[in-house]
Amino acid sequence: MPDPPHRRRAHARGSDLERYAGLFAARTQVMRSSAMRDLMAVTARPEVISLAGGLPDTSTFPPQTFAAQMTRIAQESAAEALQYGPTEGFRETVDCIVEVMGAEGMLPDPEDVIVTTGGQQAIDLLCKTLVDPGDAVICEAPTYPGAIPVFCSYQADTIQVECDAEGMRIEELEAALERLDGEGRRPKFVYSVPTFQNPAGVTMSLQRRRRLVELARARELLVVEDNPYGLLRFGGEPLPPLYQLDGGDFVIYVGTFSKILSPGIRLGWMVAPPPVMDKVVLGKQASDLCTSTLTQYFLREHFAEGGWREYVESVAGIYRSRRDAMLAALARHFPAGATWTEPQGGLFVWATLPSYIDTGDLLAKALREDVAFVPGQSAYVDERGRNSMRLNFSAGDEEEIREGVRRIGKVIAEQVELYGALTGERPVAPEPRAAEESPNVVPFRKAEGE
Protein backbone atom coordinates (compact mmCIF):
# COMPACT_ATOMS: atom_id res chain seq x y z
CA MET A 1 0.00 0.00 0.00
CA PRO A 2 1.38 3.44 -0.86
CA ASP A 3 2.18 5.86 1.93
CA PRO A 4 -0.66 8.17 2.82
CA PRO A 5 -0.27 11.58 1.23
CA HIS A 6 1.76 14.14 3.11
CA ARG A 7 -0.80 15.83 5.29
CA ARG A 8 1.09 18.58 6.98
CA ARG A 9 -0.03 21.98 5.82
CA ALA A 10 2.08 23.69 3.25
CA HIS A 11 4.12 26.33 4.99
CA ALA A 12 3.65 29.96 4.16
CA ARG A 13 5.86 31.53 1.60
CA GLY A 14 7.52 34.87 2.10
CA SER A 15 4.86 36.63 0.08
CA ASP A 16 2.11 34.96 2.12
CA LEU A 17 3.72 36.27 5.26
CA GLU A 18 3.20 39.82 4.11
CA ARG A 19 -0.40 38.96 3.36
CA TYR A 20 -0.97 37.54 6.84
CA ALA A 21 0.92 40.40 8.45
CA GLY A 22 -1.86 42.77 7.50
CA LEU A 23 -4.42 40.49 9.13
CA PHE A 24 -3.01 40.10 12.64
CA ALA A 25 -4.92 41.82 15.41
CA ALA A 26 -3.02 44.51 17.28
CA ARG A 27 -3.20 42.37 20.44
CA THR A 28 -0.92 39.75 18.88
CA GLN A 29 1.88 42.29 18.75
CA VAL A 30 2.50 42.29 22.47
CA MET A 31 4.38 39.06 22.68
CA ARG A 32 7.45 37.93 24.51
CA SER A 33 10.79 37.82 22.77
CA SER A 34 11.21 34.84 20.52
CA ALA A 35 14.78 34.44 21.75
CA MET A 36 13.43 33.72 25.23
CA ARG A 37 10.82 31.37 23.79
CA ASP A 38 13.52 29.44 21.95
CA LEU A 39 15.52 29.25 25.14
CA MET A 40 12.55 27.90 27.07
CA ALA A 41 11.93 25.36 24.28
CA VAL A 42 15.32 23.81 24.98
CA THR A 43 14.31 23.19 28.60
CA ALA A 44 12.01 20.44 27.33
CA ARG A 45 14.91 18.10 26.46
CA PRO A 46 14.39 14.84 28.36
CA GLU A 47 17.81 14.87 30.02
CA VAL A 48 17.19 18.29 31.57
CA ILE A 49 16.30 18.41 35.26
CA SER A 50 13.57 20.99 35.08
CA LEU A 51 12.88 23.16 38.09
CA ALA A 52 11.12 25.43 35.59
CA GLY A 53 7.64 23.99 35.26
CA GLY A 54 4.77 24.34 37.67
CA LEU A 55 3.68 20.75 37.37
CA PRO A 56 2.03 19.05 40.32
CA ASP A 57 3.07 15.44 40.90
CA THR A 58 0.24 13.25 39.63
CA SER A 59 2.18 10.02 40.01
CA THR A 60 0.70 9.09 43.38
CA PHE A 61 -2.90 9.04 42.19
CA PRO A 62 -3.73 5.31 42.28
CA PRO A 63 -4.27 4.00 38.72
CA GLN A 64 -6.76 1.39 40.00
CA THR A 65 -8.90 4.10 41.54
CA PHE A 66 -8.74 6.12 38.33
CA ALA A 67 -9.72 3.04 36.29
CA ALA A 68 -12.61 2.16 38.60
CA GLN A 69 -13.95 5.72 38.58
CA MET A 70 -13.78 6.04 34.81
CA THR A 71 -15.33 2.59 34.37
CA ARG A 72 -18.22 3.56 36.57
CA ILE A 73 -18.80 6.67 34.46
CA ALA A 74 -18.74 4.58 31.28
CA GLN A 75 -21.16 2.04 32.66
CA GLU A 76 -23.59 4.36 34.38
CA SER A 77 -23.46 7.72 32.60
CA ALA A 78 -21.87 7.25 29.20
CA ALA A 79 -24.43 9.25 27.24
CA GLU A 80 -24.47 12.18 29.66
CA ALA A 81 -20.70 12.24 30.13
CA LEU A 82 -20.23 12.40 26.37
CA GLN A 83 -22.83 15.16 25.92
CA TYR A 84 -22.62 18.97 26.17
CA GLY A 85 -23.31 20.37 29.60
CA PRO A 86 -24.53 23.66 31.03
CA THR A 87 -22.26 26.68 30.50
CA GLU A 88 -22.12 27.32 34.26
CA GLY A 89 -21.10 23.73 34.91
CA PHE A 90 -23.02 20.88 36.56
CA ARG A 91 -24.61 21.53 39.92
CA GLU A 92 -22.72 18.48 41.25
CA THR A 93 -19.43 20.08 40.23
CA VAL A 94 -20.43 23.28 41.99
CA ASP A 95 -21.19 21.23 45.11
CA CYS A 96 -17.63 19.89 45.02
CA ILE A 97 -16.36 23.47 44.65
CA VAL A 98 -18.42 24.63 47.62
CA GLU A 99 -16.93 21.77 49.63
CA VAL A 100 -13.36 22.73 48.66
CA MET A 101 -13.95 26.39 49.47
CA GLY A 102 -15.59 25.37 52.73
CA ALA A 103 -12.35 23.61 53.65
CA GLU A 104 -10.72 27.05 53.62
CA GLY A 105 -13.53 28.72 55.53
CA MET A 106 -15.50 30.17 52.64
CA LEU A 107 -19.22 29.86 52.08
CA PRO A 108 -20.01 30.88 48.51
CA ASP A 109 -23.55 30.97 47.16
CA PRO A 110 -23.64 28.15 44.57
CA GLU A 111 -25.45 30.55 42.24
CA ASP A 112 -22.32 32.74 42.12
CA VAL A 113 -20.08 29.91 40.88
CA ILE A 114 -19.11 29.10 37.31
CA VAL A 115 -17.02 26.07 36.35
CA THR A 116 -14.19 27.02 33.99
CA THR A 117 -11.63 25.22 31.88
CA GLY A 118 -8.87 25.59 34.45
CA GLY A 119 -8.23 28.68 36.55
CA GLN A 120 -6.51 30.10 33.51
CA GLN A 121 -9.82 30.45 31.69
CA ALA A 122 -11.25 32.31 34.66
CA ILE A 123 -8.50 34.94 34.31
CA ASP A 124 -9.12 35.10 30.58
CA LEU A 125 -12.90 35.46 31.02
CA LEU A 126 -12.46 38.21 33.58
CA CYS A 127 -10.28 40.17 31.20
CA LYS A 128 -12.69 39.52 28.38
CA THR A 129 -15.52 40.81 30.55
CA LEU A 130 -13.81 43.79 32.14
CA VAL A 131 -10.82 45.00 30.12
CA ASP A 132 -10.84 47.30 27.12
CA PRO A 133 -7.54 48.11 25.40
CA GLY A 134 -5.54 50.54 27.52
CA ASP A 135 -7.45 49.82 30.73
CA ALA A 136 -5.36 49.60 33.87
CA VAL A 137 -4.98 46.25 35.59
CA ILE A 138 -2.92 45.99 38.77
CA CYS A 139 -1.03 42.90 39.87
CA GLU A 140 1.86 41.93 42.09
CA ALA A 141 5.53 42.32 41.18
CA PRO A 142 6.45 39.58 40.52
CA THR A 143 3.17 38.08 39.34
CA TYR A 144 1.99 34.72 38.00
CA PRO A 145 3.88 34.45 34.67
CA GLY A 146 0.85 32.86 33.01
CA ALA A 147 -1.32 35.89 33.77
CA ILE A 148 0.90 38.29 31.83
CA PRO A 149 0.09 36.93 28.35
CA VAL A 150 -3.62 37.15 29.24
CA PHE A 151 -3.34 40.79 30.33
CA CYS A 152 -1.25 41.51 27.24
CA SER A 153 -3.63 39.85 24.83
CA TYR A 154 -6.43 42.11 26.09
CA GLN A 155 -4.04 45.05 25.72
CA ALA A 156 -4.33 45.97 29.38
CA ASP A 157 -2.00 48.57 30.83
CA THR A 158 -0.51 46.27 33.46
CA ILE A 159 0.79 47.98 36.59
CA GLN A 160 2.87 45.89 38.98
CA VAL A 161 3.05 46.62 42.70
CA GLU A 162 6.06 45.33 44.63
CA CYS A 163 5.80 42.36 46.95
CA ASP A 164 7.83 41.54 49.99
CA ALA A 165 7.75 38.69 52.49
CA GLU A 166 4.21 39.74 53.48
CA GLY A 167 2.86 39.84 49.97
CA MET A 168 1.70 42.85 47.98
CA ARG A 169 2.72 46.14 49.58
CA ILE A 170 -0.58 47.82 50.17
CA GLU A 171 0.83 51.30 50.59
CA GLU A 172 2.41 51.00 47.16
CA LEU A 173 -0.91 49.83 45.84
CA GLU A 174 -2.53 52.92 47.35
CA ALA A 175 0.10 55.10 45.75
CA ALA A 176 -0.57 53.47 42.39
CA LEU A 177 -4.30 54.04 42.84
CA GLU A 178 -3.67 57.69 43.70
CA ARG A 179 -1.61 58.10 40.56
CA LEU A 180 -4.39 56.59 38.49
CA ASP A 181 -6.92 58.86 40.25
CA GLY A 182 -4.80 61.79 39.20
CA GLU A 183 -5.03 60.62 35.61
CA GLY A 184 -8.77 60.17 35.94
CA ARG A 185 -8.44 56.42 35.53
CA ARG A 186 -9.98 53.58 37.47
CA PRO A 187 -8.28 50.19 37.38
CA LYS A 188 -10.51 47.35 36.27
CA PHE A 189 -9.20 45.03 38.95
CA VAL A 190 -6.32 44.14 41.24
CA TYR A 191 -5.07 40.61 40.57
CA SER A 192 -3.42 38.84 43.48
CA VAL A 193 -2.26 35.37 44.46
CA PRO A 194 -2.23 36.08 48.20
CA THR A 195 -1.41 32.57 49.42
CA PHE A 196 1.86 30.78 48.58
CA GLN A 197 2.24 33.06 45.63
CA ASN A 198 3.37 32.00 42.21
CA PRO A 199 6.20 32.81 41.61
CA ALA A 200 7.46 34.29 44.88
CA GLY A 201 6.18 31.68 47.33
CA VAL A 202 5.16 34.40 49.79
CA THR A 203 1.86 34.78 51.61
CA MET A 204 0.04 38.05 52.23
CA SER A 205 -0.17 38.84 55.95
CA LEU A 206 -3.52 39.05 57.70
CA GLN A 207 -3.06 42.76 58.31
CA ARG A 208 -2.50 43.40 54.61
CA ARG A 209 -5.42 41.17 53.65
CA ARG A 210 -7.67 43.27 55.85
CA ARG A 211 -6.32 46.51 54.42
CA LEU A 212 -6.74 45.29 50.87
CA VAL A 213 -10.34 44.32 51.48
CA GLU A 214 -11.05 47.64 53.22
CA LEU A 215 -9.49 49.46 50.31
CA ALA A 216 -11.61 47.50 47.87
CA ARG A 217 -14.77 48.42 49.76
CA ALA A 218 -13.86 52.06 50.21
CA ARG A 219 -12.95 52.50 46.56
CA GLU A 220 -15.38 50.01 45.04
CA LEU A 221 -12.39 48.28 43.56
CA LEU A 222 -12.56 44.74 42.26
CA VAL A 223 -9.94 42.36 43.63
CA VAL A 224 -9.33 39.04 41.89
CA GLU A 225 -8.07 36.47 44.37
CA ASP A 226 -6.39 33.58 42.58
CA ASN A 227 -5.92 30.76 45.06
CA PRO A 228 -4.61 27.56 43.49
CA TYR A 229 -2.35 26.59 46.39
CA GLY A 230 -4.19 27.48 49.61
CA LEU A 231 -4.77 23.86 50.60
CA LEU A 232 -1.15 22.89 49.98
CA ARG A 233 0.01 24.18 53.35
CA PHE A 234 3.10 22.70 54.99
CA GLY A 235 2.78 24.28 58.39
CA GLY A 236 1.48 27.22 60.38
CA GLU A 237 -2.06 28.46 60.70
CA PRO A 238 -4.13 29.17 57.59
CA LEU A 239 -5.06 32.80 56.97
CA PRO A 240 -8.57 33.73 55.86
CA PRO A 241 -8.88 34.15 52.10
CA LEU A 242 -9.69 37.64 50.84
CA TYR A 243 -13.01 36.27 49.66
CA GLN A 244 -13.93 35.27 53.19
CA LEU A 245 -12.91 38.64 54.64
CA ASP A 246 -14.92 40.49 52.01
CA GLY A 247 -17.91 38.19 51.70
CA GLY A 248 -17.84 38.28 47.92
CA ASP A 249 -18.91 41.87 47.19
CA PHE A 250 -15.65 43.15 45.76
CA VAL A 251 -13.47 40.05 45.77
CA ILE A 252 -13.82 37.74 42.79
CA TYR A 253 -12.45 34.32 43.62
CA VAL A 254 -10.61 32.03 41.22
CA GLY A 255 -9.94 28.41 42.15
CA THR A 256 -8.72 25.25 40.45
CA PHE A 257 -8.57 21.49 40.87
CA SER A 258 -5.22 21.44 39.08
CA LYS A 259 -3.07 21.35 42.21
CA ILE A 260 -5.37 19.39 44.50
CA LEU A 261 -6.37 16.70 41.99
CA SER A 262 -5.15 17.00 38.40
CA PRO A 263 -4.26 19.73 35.91
CA GLY A 264 -5.12 17.32 33.09
CA ILE A 265 -8.85 17.49 33.84
CA ARG A 266 -8.77 21.27 33.24
CA LEU A 267 -11.30 22.12 35.92
CA GLY A 268 -11.27 25.47 37.61
CA TRP A 269 -13.87 27.94 38.77
CA MET A 270 -14.76 31.50 39.49
CA VAL A 271 -17.02 33.04 42.11
CA ALA A 272 -18.28 36.49 41.24
CA PRO A 273 -21.17 38.80 42.13
CA PRO A 274 -24.26 38.18 39.93
CA PRO A 275 -23.89 41.23 37.62
CA VAL A 276 -20.32 40.23 36.76
CA MET A 277 -21.29 36.56 36.54
CA ASP A 278 -24.01 37.28 33.95
CA LYS A 279 -21.42 38.76 31.60
CA VAL A 280 -18.87 36.06 32.36
CA VAL A 281 -21.39 33.34 31.43
CA LEU A 282 -21.96 35.03 28.06
CA GLY A 283 -18.22 35.23 27.56
CA LYS A 284 -17.77 31.57 28.46
CA GLN A 285 -20.53 30.62 26.05
CA ALA A 286 -18.73 32.42 23.26
CA SER A 287 -15.40 30.84 24.20
CA ASP A 288 -16.20 27.15 24.55
CA LEU A 289 -19.92 26.68 25.39
CA CYS A 290 -19.12 24.56 28.42
CA THR A 291 -16.33 22.93 30.37
CA SER A 292 -15.61 19.26 29.63
CA THR A 293 -18.49 17.19 30.92
CA LEU A 294 -16.39 14.03 31.03
CA THR A 295 -13.92 15.45 33.50
CA GLN A 296 -16.74 16.94 35.57
CA TYR A 297 -18.12 13.42 35.89
CA PHE A 298 -14.69 12.22 36.99
CA LEU A 299 -14.55 14.96 39.62
CA ARG A 300 -17.97 13.94 40.92
CA GLU A 301 -16.80 10.33 41.27
CA HIS A 302 -13.60 11.38 43.02
CA PHE A 303 -15.48 13.50 45.55
CA ALA A 304 -18.20 10.87 46.04
CA GLU A 305 -15.56 8.53 47.42
CA GLY A 306 -14.89 11.05 50.16
CA GLY A 307 -11.10 10.87 50.24
CA TRP A 308 -10.25 14.07 48.42
CA ARG A 309 -8.82 15.84 51.48
CA GLU A 310 -6.62 12.88 52.35
CA TYR A 311 -5.29 12.95 48.82
CA VAL A 312 -4.50 16.68 49.07
CA GLU A 313 -2.81 16.10 52.41
CA SER A 314 -0.71 13.27 51.02
CA VAL A 315 0.41 15.45 48.13
CA ALA A 316 1.16 18.35 50.48
CA GLY A 317 3.27 16.00 52.58
CA ILE A 318 5.32 15.05 49.54
CA TYR A 319 5.80 18.70 48.58
CA ARG A 320 6.83 19.60 52.11
CA SER A 321 9.74 17.14 51.97
CA ARG A 322 10.69 18.43 48.55
CA ARG A 323 10.63 22.02 49.73
CA ASP A 324 12.85 21.06 52.63
CA ALA A 325 15.23 19.38 50.21
CA MET A 326 15.28 22.49 48.05
CA LEU A 327 15.88 24.91 50.92
CA ALA A 328 18.71 22.73 52.24
CA ALA A 329 20.25 22.50 48.77
CA LEU A 330 19.97 26.26 48.27
CA ALA A 331 21.73 26.91 51.57
CA ARG A 332 24.45 24.54 50.53
CA HIS A 333 24.98 25.47 46.88
CA PHE A 334 23.93 29.09 46.34
CA PRO A 335 26.54 31.77 46.94
CA ALA A 336 26.67 34.47 49.56
CA GLY A 337 24.68 37.42 48.29
CA ALA A 338 21.85 35.23 47.03
CA THR A 339 18.54 35.30 48.88
CA TRP A 340 15.41 33.22 48.58
CA THR A 341 11.95 32.92 50.00
CA GLU A 342 10.87 30.16 52.35
CA PRO A 343 7.36 29.18 51.27
CA GLN A 344 5.00 27.65 53.83
CA GLY A 345 3.09 25.96 51.01
CA GLY A 346 2.57 25.88 47.28
CA LEU A 347 5.05 24.89 44.61
CA PHE A 348 7.68 27.61 44.29
CA VAL A 349 10.75 29.24 45.76
CA TRP A 350 11.86 32.63 44.42
CA ALA A 351 15.60 33.23 44.50
CA THR A 352 17.36 36.52 43.90
CA LEU A 353 21.01 36.72 42.86
CA PRO A 354 23.52 39.58 42.86
CA SER A 355 22.33 42.35 40.53
CA TYR A 356 24.97 41.74 37.88
CA ILE A 357 23.63 38.27 37.08
CA ASP A 358 20.99 38.13 34.34
CA THR A 359 19.07 34.92 34.95
CA GLY A 360 18.00 34.74 31.29
CA ASP A 361 21.64 34.42 30.30
CA LEU A 362 22.34 32.21 33.29
CA LEU A 363 19.68 29.84 31.97
CA ALA A 364 21.65 29.36 28.73
CA LYS A 365 24.64 28.35 30.84
CA ALA A 366 22.51 26.18 33.11
CA LEU A 367 21.07 24.33 30.13
CA ARG A 368 24.55 23.18 29.23
CA GLU A 369 24.54 21.53 32.65
CA ASP A 370 21.11 20.06 31.85
CA VAL A 371 19.13 22.02 34.39
CA ALA A 372 16.41 24.62 33.93
CA PHE A 373 14.49 27.26 35.91
CA VAL A 374 12.20 30.16 35.03
CA PRO A 375 14.08 33.46 34.63
CA GLY A 376 12.52 36.15 36.82
CA GLN A 377 11.86 38.39 33.85
CA SER A 378 8.88 36.16 32.97
CA ALA A 379 7.04 37.45 36.03
CA TYR A 380 7.26 41.10 35.07
CA VAL A 381 5.96 43.27 32.25
CA ASP A 382 9.00 45.52 32.50
CA GLU A 383 12.73 45.11 32.98
CA ARG A 384 12.52 44.07 36.62
CA GLY A 385 13.29 40.60 37.86
CA ARG A 386 16.33 40.07 35.67
CA ASN A 387 18.42 38.78 38.57
CA SER A 388 15.73 36.52 40.04
CA MET A 389 14.49 33.04 39.26
CA ARG A 390 11.55 30.81 40.06
CA LEU A 391 12.33 27.30 41.25
CA ASN A 392 9.70 24.59 41.38
CA PHE A 393 9.83 21.84 43.98
CA SER A 394 6.66 19.85 43.21
CA ALA A 395 7.56 18.11 39.96
CA GLY A 396 10.82 16.33 40.72
CA ASP A 397 11.82 14.05 43.56
CA GLU A 398 14.22 15.10 46.28
CA GLU A 399 17.27 13.69 44.57
CA GLU A 400 16.49 15.58 41.37
CA ILE A 401 15.90 18.77 43.33
CA ARG A 402 19.22 18.46 45.15
CA GLU A 403 21.09 17.72 41.93
CA GLY A 404 19.28 20.48 40.02
CA VAL A 405 20.06 23.10 42.67
CA ARG A 406 23.66 21.91 42.83
CA ARG A 407 24.07 22.42 39.08
CA ILE A 408 22.48 25.87 39.17
CA GLY A 409 24.71 26.75 42.11
CA LYS A 410 27.72 25.71 40.09
CA VAL A 411 26.96 28.01 37.15
CA ILE A 412 26.15 30.88 39.50
CA ALA A 413 29.45 30.36 41.29
CA GLU A 414 31.25 30.58 37.96
CA GLN A 415 29.56 33.88 37.18
CA VAL A 416 30.28 35.26 40.64
CA GLU A 417 33.92 34.34 40.30
CA LEU A 418 34.14 35.83 36.81
CA TYR A 419 32.54 39.07 37.96
CA GLY A 420 35.05 39.20 40.76
CA ALA A 421 37.89 38.79 38.28
CA LEU A 422 36.42 41.53 36.08
CA THR A 423 35.91 44.08 38.78
CA GLY A 424 38.65 43.15 41.21
CA GLU A 425 35.95 42.48 43.78
CA ARG A 426 36.86 39.38 45.63
CA PRO A 427 33.74 37.29 45.98
CA VAL A 428 32.96 36.32 49.52
CA ALA A 429 34.20 32.79 49.96
CA PRO A 430 31.13 30.59 50.04
CA GLU A 431 31.28 29.00 53.43
CA PRO A 432 29.44 25.76 53.80
CA ARG A 433 26.44 26.57 55.92
CA ALA A 434 24.28 24.34 57.96
CA ALA A 435 20.76 24.18 56.63
CA GLU A 436 19.28 25.15 59.97
CA GLU A 437 21.08 28.47 60.03
CA SER A 438 20.41 29.31 56.37
CA PRO A 439 21.01 33.04 56.81
CA ASN A 440 19.89 33.66 53.26
CA VAL A 441 16.33 32.70 53.85
CA VAL A 442 15.06 36.23 54.03
CA PRO A 443 12.36 38.21 52.32
CA PHE A 444 13.33 39.00 48.77
CA ARG A 445 12.67 42.61 49.51
CA LYS A 446 12.56 44.14 52.94
CA ALA A 447 9.55 46.22 53.65
CA GLU A 448 10.54 49.78 54.37
CA GLY A 449 8.88 51.70 57.14
CA GLU A 450 6.59 48.88 58.14
Partner 1 sequence: MKVAVLKGGRSLERGVSLRSAARVEDALGRLGHEAVSLEAGGELVERLAAERPDVAFVAMHGIGGEDGTVQELLEILGVPFTGPGVAACVRCIDKSLSKHELRAAGVPTADWFAFNETAFRELGAADALVGLEERLGFPLVVKPSRGGSALGVKFAEGAADVPAALVSAFSYDSRVLLERYVEGRELAVGVVGEEPLPVVEAIPLSGNGYDFEARYEIGRTSFVCPAAIGEGEAAAVTETALAAYRALGCAGFSRVDLILGDDGPQVLEVNAIPGLTDTSLLPQAAEAAGMSFERLVERILELALAPTAA
Q: Return the ∠ at Cα 21 (arms to 15 and 24), rounded to 5°.
A: 150
Tell me if 24 contacts partner 1 by CB under 8 A. yes
Minimum CB–partner distance for residue 351 and partner 1 (Å): 17
Q: Which residue among 4, 22, 38, 184 contacts partner 1 (CB under 8 A)? A: 38
Is 424 a binding residue for partner 1 by CB under 8 A? The answer is yes
Q: Choose one: 52-60, 152-160, 270-278, 422-430; the region binding partner 1 (CB under 8 A).
A: 422-430
Phi, psi of 158 (to 5 degrees): -90, 125
**Considering CB under 8 A, how many residues would be counted as binding partner 1?**
44
What is the rounded distance in angstroms from the CA atom of residue 50 to the CA atom of residue 263? 18
Count Cβ atoms within 10 A of the Cβ of residue 345 and give its class: 0-12 exposed, 13-18 middle, 19 or more buried: buried
> Is residue 8 within the footprint of partner 1 (CB under 8 A)?
yes
Minimal distance, residue 359 CB to partner 1, in Å: 10
Residue from 362, 374, 405, 408 in contact with partner 1 (CB under 8 A) = 362
d(C-alpha 329, C-alpha 280), whole Å? 45
- What's the min distance (Å) between Cβ of 35 and partner 1? 5
Report the residue from 1, 10, 23, 218 that binds partner 1 according to the rule CB under 8 A.
Answer: 10
Q: Which residue's CB is nearer to partner 1, number 156 or number 327?
A: 156
Q: Which of 2, 4, 22, 34 binds partner 1 (CB under 8 A)?
A: 34
Given 4, 29, 59, 218, the residue binding partner 1 (CB under 8 A):
29
* Contact flag: residue 62 with partner 1 (CB under 8 A): no
- Closer residue to partner 1, CB minimum distance, 364 or 442: 364
Over the window 329 to 358, marking each residue x when it contacts partner 1 by CB under 8 A and - when it does not, the resulting string is --------------------------xxxx
Kindly tell me which residue out of 278, 361, 399, 450 binds partner 1, with binding defined by CB under 8 A.
Answer: 361
> Does residue 274 belong to the site contacting partner 1 (CB under 8 A)?
no
The answer to the question of residue 42 lying near partner 1 (CB under 8 A) is yes
> By CB under 8 A, is residue 422 in contact with partner 1?
yes
Alpha carbon 398 to its chain centroid, in Å, reads 22
For residues 117 and 288, the answer to whether their CB atoms sit within 8 Å is yes
Q: Strand 167-168 to strand 113-116: parallel, antiparallel, or no bridges (unpaired)?
A: unpaired
- Please tell me whether residue 14 binds partner 1 under the rule CB under 8 A: yes
- Residue 428 binds partner 1, judged by CB under 8 A: no
Integer Cα distance of 74 and 86 in angstroms: 20
The span from the CA of 145 to the CA of 149, in Å, is: 8
Is 282 within 8 Å of 128 (Cβ atoms)? Answer: no
Tell me the angle at which helices 91-102 and 293-304 cross, rounded to the nearest 10 degrees: 50
DSSP string, 323-365: HHHHHHHHHHHSPTT-EE---SBSSEEEEE--TT--HHHHHHH
Burial (0-12, 13-18, 19+ Cβ within 10 Å), 334:
buried
376 class by beta-carbon count within 10 Å (0-12 exposed, 13-18 middle, 19+ buried)? buried
Rounded Cα–Cα distance for residues 281 and 198 (Å): 27
Q: Confirm or reject binding of residue 423 to partner 1 (CB under 8 A).
A: yes
- Nearer to partner 1 by Cβ, of 248 and 335: the residue is 335
Q: Which is nearer to partner 1, 118 or 375 (CB)?
A: 375
Instruction: Single out the segment in contact with partner 1 by CB under 8 A; choices: 10-18, 127-135, 142-150, 157-165.
Output: 10-18
Residue selected from 417, 428, 446, 450 as contacting partner 1 according to rule CB under 8 A: 417
Sheet with 374-375, strands from edge to edge, namely: 339-340, 348-352, 388-392, 374-375
Which residues lie below 8 Å from residue 386, measured CB to CB, with a gap of 6+? 358, 359, 360, 375, 376, 377
Q: Per CB under 8 A, which region of 7-15, 82-90, 302-310, 429-437 contacts partner 1?
A: 7-15
When asked if residue 314 is in the footprint of partner 1 (CB under 8 A), the reply is no
Neighbour-count burial of 183, counting CB atoms closer than 10 A to its CB (0-12 exposed, 13-18 middle, 19+ buried) = exposed
Q: How far is the CB of 361 from partner 1 (least distance, A)?
A: 4
Q: For partner 1, which residue of 1, 4, 6, 429 counts as binding (CB under 8 A)?
A: 6
Binding residues (CB under 8 A) for partner 1: these are: 6, 8, 10-17, 21, 24, 28-29, 31, 33-39, 41-42, 45, 355-358, 360-362, 364-365, 367, 411, 415, 417-419, 421-424
